[in-house]
Amino acid sequence: MEQHPSYLMGFDLGGTKMLCGVLNSSYEIVSTTKKKTGDASRSEETFERIVACVQAALDDAGVAASEVVALGVAAPGPIDLRTGTLLETPNLGFQQFPLAERLSREVGIDVRVENDVNAGLYGEYVKGAAGRYRHVLGLFPGTGVGGAIVIDGKLYRGAQGGAGEIGHMIMQLDGRLCGCGQYGCLEAMVSRGAMAREAALLVTNGKAPTIAEKAGTDVSKMRAGVFKKAIDAGDTEVARLVDRAADILGIGMANCVNIFNPEAIVVGGGLVEKLGSSYLDRAAASMRSHAMSHLAAGVEIIAATLGDDAAVVGAAAVAHEHVRESRGGGR
Ligand SMILES: [Zn+2]
């Protein structure tokens, strides 16, 4: 039997599902447990589900709370990372909710909360696609466009923990309205939501027969897989729309390459998983033709490899490092 606690836990708190993993000290997942987030309008109900999911994960792995060094929670922002308080997450019902403190008390494990996109990139850094690099950016085009930054092997969080909003880089003056309230953000041009709104117009004009058949004009049904099917079926206007999104994503990457001089950009999320290398290669080519050439030459554009596990692994690693730093007497 182990004399010292040697396991870690990572928890991905999503709007529709929560995923909790138990990991060994090499950040390998021992087991994962999934639950629906459920009706998340009431914070106490959501919190009870989080606690139940952590306890179920411990049971599934056959591990006691006393054997766990730390639990990292990946949550949507904004978050006070210092105290682990969820400041305002309306779709989970949380407002100024001291998640780290409450959860730590409930399950008896040190808890650290991290922004979910940061956790996703950090997972790819410690155990996934980006392990060979020290300077890495993450871009996750999906419902929105998540971004995160690792500089010299460390997550870069900025003054208030809010760094990495690459999706809200403004690409076009007077462009399309973004969910953040600004116009012309990268996210408003290349996210799946943005592509779906354009595809709905094509459907209305009779130019996207496969999407018409699979989703009609219902943008919520236009998942990444629907775009893939339309392209495979030869819907040329849809292929053009997706190519254009990849080209613009590449210009966003080029701006980041010029600012951060990274070695790699990890791209993850549903669009990359479904559309694959044609989408990624096109974005990479666009990046190379728009970034400063000596910087572009040194950048790899790579697909994320951990999928849904990335945030679980990254959150566990963040929590582990925090415990080690605080025990080491650092600030
Ligand atoms: Zn925006």
DSSP string, 126-143: HHSTTTT-SSEEEEEESS
In whole angstroms, what separates CA 217 from the centre of its chain? Answer: 27
Distances (CA, A) of 302 to 41, 152, 167, 245, 284: 37, 18, 18, 17, 9
Centre of ligand 1 from the C-alpha of residue 297, in Å: 29
Q: Let me know whether 247 and 318 are in one domain.
A: no
169, burial (CB in 10 Å: exposed 0-12, middle 13-18, buried 19+): middle
Q: Let me know whether 137 and 239 are in one domain.
A: yes
**331, pLDDT greater than 50:** no
- By mean pLDDT, which of 36-50, 61-75, 177-191, 274-288 is the weakest? 36-50
**35, pLDDT greater than 50:** yes
Q: Let me know whether 179 and 293 are in one domain.
A: yes
Mean pLDDT for the stretch of residues 147-173: 96
Give a yes or no: residue 233 inside a domain: yes
Centre of ligand 1 from the C-alpha of residue 183, in Å: 7
Give a yes or no: residue 1 inside a domain: no
Q: Let me know whether 15 and 161 are in one domain.
A: no
Confidence band of 77 (pLDDT split at 50, 70, 90): confident
Mean pLDDT for the stretch of residues 168-181: 95
Mean pLDDT for the stretch of residues 168-189: 96
Per-residue confidence (pLDDT) for residue 164, from 0 to 100: 96
Centre of ligand 1 from the C-alpha of residue 221, in Å: 23
Per-residue confidence (pLDDT) for residue 121, from 0 to 100: 98
> Largest Cα–Cα distance in the chain?
68
Give a yes or no: residue 296 inside a domain: yes
Residue 98 belongs to domain spanning: 7-116+309-327
Mean pLDDT for the stretch of residues 193-208: 97
Centre of ligand 1 from the C-alpha of residue 102, in Å: 32
Centre of ligand 1 from the C-alpha of residue 283, in Å: 20
Give me the percent of the chain exceeding a pLDDT of 70: 98
Q: Are the beta carbons of 91 and 39 closer than 8 angstroms?
A: no
**233, pLDDT greater than 70:** yes
Give a yes or no: residue 2 inside a domain: no
Centre of ligand 1 from the C-alpha of residue 176, in Å: 10
Confidence band of 291 (pLDDT split at 50, 70, 90): very high
Centre of ligand 1 from the C-alpha of residue 327, in Å: 39
Structure tokens at 173: 């003056």
Centre of ligand 1 from the C-alpha of residue 103, in Å: 32
**20, pLDDT greater than 80:** yes
Confidence band of 42 (pLDDT split at 50, 70, 90): confident
Q: Let me know whether 134 and 273 are in one domain.
A: yes
Centre of ligand 1 from the C-alpha of residue 188, in Å: 7
Q: Let me know whether 255 and 295 are in one domain.
A: yes
**2, pLDDT greater than 60:** no
Centre of ligand 1 from the C-alpha of residue 87, in Å: 19
Give a yes or no: residue 55 inside a domain: yes
Q: Let me know whether 178 and 159 are in one domain.
A: yes
Q: Is 292 helix (H, G, I), strand (E, B) or coil?
A: coil
Per-residue confidence (pLDDT) for residue 329, from 0 to 100: 58
Centre of ligand 1 from the C-alpha of residue 220, in Å: 20
302, burial (CB in 10 Å: exposed 0-12, middle 13-18, buried 19+): buried
Number of residues in the chain: 331
Per-residue confidence (pLDDT) for residue 111, from 0 to 100: 98
Centre of ligand 1 from the C-alpha of residue 72, in Å: 28
Centre of ligand 1 from the C-alpha of residue 143, in Å: 12
Centre of ligand 1 from the C-alpha of residue 241, in Å: 20
The model's pLDDT over 305-321, given as tens digits with 9 standing for 90+, comes to 999 999 999 999 999 99
Centre of ligand 1 from the C-alpha of residue 214, in Å: 29
Give a yes or no: residue 124 inside a domain: no
Name the nearest CA neighbour of 17 among 44, 36, 33, 32: 36
Q: Let me know whether 86 and 157 are in one domain.
A: no
Cis amide prior to 78 (ω within 30 degrees): yes
Q: Is 89 helix (H, G, I), strand (E, B) or coil?
A: strand
Centre of ligand 1 from the C-alpha of residue 167, in Å: 7
**31, pLDDT greater than 70:** yes
Centre of ligand 1 from the C-alpha of residue 147, in Å: 12
**Which amino acid does the sequence have at 132?**
R
Q: Let me know whether 300 and 317 are in one domain.
A: no
Which CATH number characterizes residue 216's domain?
A: 3.30.420.40
Angle at 232 between CA 229 and CA 238, to 5 degrees: 75
Domain count, the chain: 2
Q: Let me know whether 151 and 42 are in one domain.
A: no
**330, pLDDT greater than 60:** no
Per-residue confidence (pLDDT) for residue 90, from 0 to 100: 77
This prediction has a pTM of 0.95
Q: Let me know whether 27 and 135 are in one domain.
A: no
The model's pLDDT over 239-286, given as tens digits with 9 standing for 90+, comes to 999 999 999 999 999 999 999 999 999 999 999 999 999 999 999 999
Per-residue confidence (pLDDT) for residue 327, from 0 to 100: 84
Give me the percent of the chain exceeding a pLDDT of 90: 90
Between CA 73 and CA 312 the distance in angstroms is 8
**197, pLDDT greater than 90:** yes
Give a yes or no: residue 200 inside a domain: yes
User: Higher pLDDT residue, 45 or 123?
Assistant: 123
Give a yes or no: residue 240 inside a domain: yes
Between CA 115 and CA 84 the distance in angstroms is 10
Q: Let me know whether 139 and 244 are in one domain.
A: yes
